[in-house]
């Protein structure tokens, strides 16, 4: 039941977070459905959620360290000697133990547990952002591969038509056998690329199904003409505060805070500890044969000062300091990585936008060149080589245009990951 409640809370949390974060950037309705499905069923995200639950439990444990420990240890015995009646003895002691470290050990343990909880919460948020990006990347890759398959199939038909025309011209004596052979080779080369595209589509569908937490199957997606592209501003200015608010940077910062507290915990071990224990309970054993129930009262206080612990305390302190330095390095690296990712994402997206118009013009020019060369081959005596070159150029331009489109979508996705919008 508790596990079911945790999953329900996680599902509500995911739905609330996704409604506020990514829908405006990924308008395609099919993609939105896959992202919601992934956030509910993805194994990596569920693992991150379980890590967060563990940190919550550890924080509760750290807060309870301020309270005394209480135990109940009932016991009883029966004694019978020769020619005597049995004697029944019982005790019901309630024992309390309370420990106070003069170095503030419990306080620093509480600080460390709180920082660990915030770190895991930030890591969970970052895992969700990464998952959204991975699902979107796989989805747009499928759209691009579908478009390339369609373009290639059209290229196959064009090559087939050119081959048919060349064979007719050969029969009329206007082309030779070499031209026909060259056209057949070009036709088969395009045909051979189709199985590779089909295999890439199947692999991408399998990868997306894994992200969705489902068995490998076909994935429905929008067509090239109707797909909703990623919506991001490639010319925006990213402030330093935005980078510092990235969940991966926050996770590194909270890890650094936890390491500071861990050093303080290690130092507190050198301070004395006051232990107070008390017992209250009931017994019928007061040293007489027949007696009423008696009350047990006992209180003990002790002060412990570590003097020599086989070097364990110093070793723990050295290890904690080294871990603190590691956390400091990781935090600085996270900041540098965030800045670099933003810079690369913006530069890549701007380059794609500048290239888009030129690529469109290239595709249009290649199409016209192919159509003109084909007409010239029929009526004006153009060589088969001109037709094949123009046809290959048009096909390559269309395939490159789809690859450019995917690269643009991926650049927008990289911006989304880099700024990690709320």
**What φ, ψ does residue 297 adopt, rounded to 5°?**
-130, 130
- This prediction has a pTM of 0.78
Domains of the chain by range and CATH? Answer: 2-90+99-272+311-419 (1.20.1600.10)
| Tokens, residue 181 | 């052979």
The one-digit pLDDT tens for each residue of the chain (422 residues) are 434 334 333 343 344 444 456 788 899 999 999 999 998 988 888 888 888 888 888 888 888 777 777 787 787 777 776 777 777 777 777 787 877 777 888 888 888 889 989 998 988 998 899 999 999 999 999 999 999 999 999 888 888 877 787 787 777 776 677 777 877 888 888 888 899 999 999 999 999 999 998 899 999 999 988 988 888 876 666 666 777 788 888 999 999 999 989 898 888 888 887 777 777 777 766 544 334 455 556 667 666 677 666 778 888 889 999 999 999 999 999 988 888 888 888 888 888 888 888 888 989 998 888 888 877 766 655 667 777 788 888 888 999 999 999 999 998 898 888 887 65
What is the rounded distance in angstroms from the CA atom of residue 109 to the CA atom of residue 33?
42
């Amino acid at each position: 039941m508790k596990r079911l409640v945790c999953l329900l809370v996680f599902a509500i949390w995911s739905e609330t977070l996704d409604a506020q974060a990514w829908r405006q950037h990924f308008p395609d309705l099919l993609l939105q459905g896959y992202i919601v499905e992934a956030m509910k069923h993805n194994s990596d995200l569920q693992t991150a959620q379980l890590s967060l639950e563990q940190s919550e439990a550890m924080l509760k444990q750290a807060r309870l360290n301020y309270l005394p420990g209480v135990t109940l240890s009932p016991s009883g015995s029966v004694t019978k000697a020769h020619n005597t009646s049995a004697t029944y003895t019982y005790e019901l002691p309630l024992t309390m133990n309370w420990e106070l470290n003069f170095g503030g050990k419990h306080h620093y343990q509480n600080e460390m547990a709180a920082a660990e909880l915030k770190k895991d919460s930030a890591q969970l948020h970052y895992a969700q952002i990464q998952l959204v990006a991975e699902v979107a990347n796989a989805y747009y890759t499928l759209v691009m591969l579908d478009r390339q398959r369609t373009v290639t199939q059209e290229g196959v038909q064009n090559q087939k038509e050119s081959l048919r025309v060349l064979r007719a011209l050969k029969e009329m004596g206007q082309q030779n056998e070499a031209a026909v052979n060259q056209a057949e080779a070009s036709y088969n080369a395009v045909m051979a690329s189709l199985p590779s595209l089909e295999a890439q589509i199947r692999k991408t569908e399998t990868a997306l199904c894994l992200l969705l937490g489902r068995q490998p199957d076909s994935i429905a997606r929008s067509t090239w003409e109707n797909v909703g592209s990623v919506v991001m501003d490639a010319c925006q200015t990213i402030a330093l505060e935005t980078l510092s608010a990235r969940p991966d940077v926050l996770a590194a910062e909270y890890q650094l805070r936890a390491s500071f507290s861990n050093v303080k915990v290690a130092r507190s071990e050198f301070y004395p500890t006051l232990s107070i224990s008390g017992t209250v309970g009931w017994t019928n054993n007061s040293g007489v044969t027949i007696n009423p129930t008696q009350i047990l009262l006992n209180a003990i206080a002790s002060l412990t000062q570590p003097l020599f612990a086989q070097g364990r305390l110093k070793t723990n302190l050295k290890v904690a300091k080294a871990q603190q330095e590691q956390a400091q390095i990781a935090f600085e690296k996270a900041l540098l990585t965030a800045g670099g990712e933003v810079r690369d994402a913006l530069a890549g997206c701007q380059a794609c936008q500048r290239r888009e118009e030129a690529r469109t013009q290239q595709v249009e020019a290649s199409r016209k060149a192919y159509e003109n060369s084909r007409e010239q081959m029929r009526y004006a005596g153009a060589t088969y080589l001109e037709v094949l070159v123009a046809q290959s150029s048009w096909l390559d331009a269309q395939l490159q245009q789809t690859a450019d489109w995917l690269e643009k979508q991926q650049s927008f996705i990289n911006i989304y990951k880099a700024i990690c919008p709320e």
